[in-house]
Each structure stands twice: as structure tokens, then as C-alpha cells.
Structure 1
Amino acid sequence: MKAKLIAAALAAAFIVPMATMQTAAASEAAARIVNGSTAIAGEFPDFITISKGTTVAGHVCGGVLVNSRWAVTAAHCVSHFDTSTASIMVGMESYTPLVKKDQVSIEKVIVHPDYDTTTLGGTAKNDLALIKLSRAANSSNFATLAGLNPEQDPPAALTNIPLTAVGFGDNENGVRPNVLNKKTMVALPDKMCTDVPAGYPATNQDPDFHVCAGSGTAGGDSGGPLYADYNGKRYVVGLVSRSLIAPAEQFTRVSKFAEWIKATAVE
């Protein structure tokens, strides 16, 4: 019985939405942006945070601004937290001192219609939501989403393409930083996000829905962008979704949802 309880606990802990990963339970997965570096001022102007307050203690998740009225983030960010008291920090670079382009309240949230919190498959494959700002953001820097110009987009495999994740998530010491951090990472074979030991739940990894990459993101990085620098342009190819077995991490593949985002996020 004890062995079964331990196995069940391990299975339940294996797939963890990044936003809900607790520092107090810092395992290898949680104790990993991890070994990143401080982002340069103005380096990621489309990056946003969902924040309850103006200190890192109120930090919830990351995301990106897709136009003046809409931002995209992970569905589990807005499903697990009350966003009615939160605001969007646009062009967020630091909590202490507070460095941002704008702060805007939230008008409404639209979770992807296929996101299903009752199944691992439903939450895994459609972990994406849109947030409508209460007014136009004071910014003209918007994310370039992969999937809207297929002939120019980076290839789906992302092989040998520099990838960068950014966020305010826990660092290698289990501490949430006050400044925006970045971490270069690489795409991994899908099998690294699929293969699991006996007794663990399926990851529901699907290359149409997910980018398998790693490692570096941790609790607090959820919803934040995975950028790909390709042919002189920076694309958002993924959103931080779930931590798997290190070094594998599962990112929502933005190109799968780009047309839905474009049709829904109307200014």
C-alpha cells in the first residue's frame, strides 16, 4: 500500500502547470528561469505580466501583447487565479524598481474553447487564453506569432534555431527575481516529452499542439513566450505550459492557434 501511495504521488506530481509550482516543494523540476541572465532593457517590449499589485509578490504569469487591446497567455494562468483584481503590466522589465511601459486593468478573459480542465488531454493540448485589456495599451510593440505567415515562419521542428524563454519565475535558488530573466534553450526530440516511466500519466505530447524544449522555466514563468530568432526576425513559437521530466518542458505551440488568436483578438 505504501509503495502504491508513493507511486500515485509521483504520478500526480509529474505534470505540473508552471504557474502553480511551489518553491516549498522545490524538486529538480522546480529548482531549475534557472541559470538564466538578466534581460537587456527594451529587449522584449511585447512581454507582459499578469500581476496582482506592483511587487514580485503579486506576480502571477507571463504572456505577450498581440495588439493594442489583447494579450495571450496560458489558459491555466487564468483558470487557477482570480484575474478580477489583477492588471496587465506591458513591457514589463522589473518589479523593483518598477519598470514597465504601461499598466492596464483586465476587461475580460477568453479561454480557448477546447481547454478542458476535467482531463489531462484537454488541459495539455489547449493551454492558451486571451486577455482583453480595458483600454488600448500605451505601446506599439506587438508579438509576431508563428503561424500567420507559414512561408516565412521558422520550421516546426525548430532544429538548430536559437530559442529564448523569458519570465519572472523561480531561479536556480528557488527565489523569484525582481527583474526579467531570459534563458537560451533548444528544441528537443518529441520523445523526450512523451516517454515516461511506468506508473506516470501520459503527457499527451502532440507535435501539432506542443513544442518540446528545455530547460530553464519554472514556477511563475507560465504563459510566457518562447521566442525563436529566425531569418533576422523574432517569432513567438510557444507559451510556457508544463514541466515534465528534466530537461523536457512542454510549450503550447502558438502556430496551432494563431488563426484563432487573430480572429478572436479583434481591436
Structure 2
Amino acid sequence: MFKSLHAVMTALGVLALSACSTQTAPDAGLPQETVTVTGTEKAFPDAIGSQIVYGTVTSVTNRPYQVSVTPSTELSGGWCGGTLISSTWVLTAAHCVVGYSASQMRVRAGINDLTTTSGQLRTPSQIIVHPYYSSSADAYDIALIKVGTAFTLGSTVQTAALPNNTTESALDVNGKYATVSGWGKTETGAYSNRALREVTLPITPTGSDCGSRPSNTICGKYDAGKDSCNGDSGGPLAARYNNRFYVLGIVSYGPVECRGYGVYTRVNGYVNWIYNNTGISAQ
């Protein structure tokens, strides 16, 4: 999971949750300004490198909604993840794409091993970052990517649904579990860009388990050190309901040691914003 740059710079040994806004979030669903990312500055240099801590090797057959989101120069490494929510739209974290133009990024689906040329590779035609996102804080860490050519859906490439209020009330509850997936280093420090990994965590939308955090976030509670980490950013926190995968959260930030208490952007808080920009409804 991405640890924001100011959190990474915090002294080691401290739960380095970066400063979070405590103000009430504006209506995340009201019509928003569309921000098209431009420029060439690398987003949060040297702070992105993947981990799934104390997880297991999985497959895109099990997580077919999982995609890799990277600059075109970083295809074989774990930069960020994303969630396919239609054949042309991907949900990811704002910090994964800010500073990049659409033509500089790449999205890959249907792939387990990032070092190969397998899977489906697409170039985005548009990137939309939430207009309230700021790199100096951890709120509104959500973005949308539209690919220029639709992905071909099949056994290894499928969409995850956006949770409506009913689904949210069943899945995003204190004591429930959800699964986060991504590529990169494990708890041993060895990179896992050759294998997609996943870990299932207890979650809560309320409480102070993850410290002071922004509105519209989900806390990944402590469970034997299991966690997402740098580079899993933007990837899905998902759960199954009525035989469908739902994306509940987006990997956002957390303590630098990646042993629990990760924070995820709560997708249900932004379904109106997503609909206004993509036409995709919660289900």
C-alpha cells in the first residue's frame, strides 16, 4: 500500500499515519470539476514499491478485476494497482496518477507476472483526479482512468461492482473482512512482481483503530501483521456478495512498517462522483 511521502519521511518506529483532515467532507457526489492530469513530474518518487504482507499468492482468475497501473517506463515493476469497473474505466488512487498525462500511463489486465508481456495492455485516453485531492493530505485519494481501447472481458478480466447503500451496509461493517490484492515485496523483503498476492483483513468504517483519518475511508484493522503496503496503492479492497465482487475500498496510505492499520478510500462515499464522470452506477 502507498505510504504518502510525508508519512515515509516520519521517524521509523512510529505509527506514521500522516496528518489527516478532520473537517467534514463535502458531498462527494455533487457535480465536480473534471481534472485532467498533465505534466511529467514523477508522483512521489522512491516511495512506491509493492508489498502484500503475510498474504498468499493468488491469480487474476481469482481476482479478475485487478489491474496494474504504471507509467509506461515501469511496466515490469509494482507501481500501483487499480480496479476494473467497466470494460473502459479503472478506479485507482489519486496519488498513483497525479503528475502524469494519460499518454504516459499504462493499464494491464489479466496478468499475474508483471515481468512478462502477457495480459491486455492499454493506454489511457483520460485521467480524472478528484478535484479536492491534495498531495499534502490523505483525503479524496481517488481517481478514474479511461482506457482508449476497451478490455476484452473473460475468465481473467472481469469488472467489480460499485457498492450501493444496501451492499455497503452488508459488507462494510465493523468485524467484516475484505481482501486486498497487489504485486511486490512480501514480509521477507523479496519482490513479488512475478506473482499477484492477496491478503484478507478485518475492516471497519468507524472507530479509531487507524488513528485520526479523513472522512470516507475504511480502516484495515490489525490482524497478525497482515497488511497492504507501498505500491499496492490504488488497488482493490474487495468482498463478495450475492456471487459478485464489490470494490469497497482503494489502497491509500498507512504506517510505514506495513503491519496493519492501513487506510482505504471508501468507494461508497464517491459513487455519485463516479457516476457523474463515467455513467457507471452502484449496484
TM-score (norm 2): 0.72
In percent, how many aligned pairs have the same letter?
27
For 1:145-180, what per-residue CA distance to the aligned partner results, in whole angstroms no more than 9, with x for missing partners? 113xx2243436523433100001321122331111
State the partner residue of 2:187: 172
Structure 1 residue 184 and structure 2 residue 186: aligned? Answer: no
Structure 1 residue 254 and structure 2 residue 267: aligned? Answer: yes
Counterparts in 2 of 1:19 and 1:94: CA distance versus 1, 3 Å: farther
For 1:215-254, what per-residue CA distance to the aligned partner results, in whole angstroms no more than 9, with x for missing partners? 4111110000001233443211000000137421100000
Determine helix, strand or coil for the equivalent of 2:228: coil
Count of residues paired in the alignment: 236
Counterparts in 2 of 1:57 and 1:90: CA distance versus 1, 3 Å: closer
Rounded to whole Å, the distance in 2 between the matches of 1:18 and 1:238 is 21
Flag structure 1 segments of 5+ consecutive residues without an equivalent: 1-7, 24-29, 195-202
Determine helix, strand or coil for the equivalent of 1:151: helix
Q: CA deviation at 1:107?
A: 0.9
Rounded to whole Å, the distance in 1 between the matches of 2:153 and 2:175 is 32
Counterparts in 2 of 1:15 and 1:169: CA distance versus 1, 3 Å: farther
Flag structure 2 segments of 5+ consecutive residues without an equivalent: 1-8, 19-42
Residue identity matched to 1:259: N
- Which among 134, 146, 170 is matched to residue 116 of structure 1? 134
Q: CA deviation at 1:54?
A: 8.7
Counterparts in 2 of 1:204 and 1:18: CA distance versus 1, 3 Å: farther
Question: Mean alpha-carbon deviation: is it higher for 162-171 or for 138-147?
Answer: 138-147
Preserved CA contact (<8 Å) 2:181 2:236:
yes
- Which among 196, 221, 235 is matched to residue 232 of structure 2? 221
Preserved CA contact (<8 Å) 1:18 1:241:
no
Preserved CA contact (<8 Å) 1:154 1:228:
no
Which has more helix, going by share of residues? 1
Residue identity matched to 1:247: G
TM-score (norm 1): 0.76
State the partner residue of 2:16: 14
Rounded to whole Å, the distance in 1 between the matches of 2:92 and 2:110 is 14
Rounded to whole Å, the distance in 1 between the matches of 2:48 and 2:272 is 34
Determine helix, strand or coil for the equivalent of 1:185: strand
State the partner residue of 1:26: none
Residue correspondence of structure 1 range 1-267 to structure 2 within 5 A = 9-10=10-11, 14-15=16-17, 21=47, 33-52=52-71, 57-79=76-98, 84-100=103-119, 102-117=120-135, 119-120=136-137, 124-139=138-153, 141-147=158-164, 150-155=165-170, 157-177=172-192, 178-188=194-204, 190-194=207-211, 203-206=212-215, 209-214=216-221, 215-244=226-255, 246-266=259-279
Q: CA RMSD in A?
A: 3.1
Rounded to whole Å, the distance in 2 between the matches of 1:220 and 1:90 is 16
Preserved CA contact (<8 Å) 2:67 2:109:
yes
Counterparts in 2 of 1:160 and 1:15: CA distance versus 1, 3 Å: closer
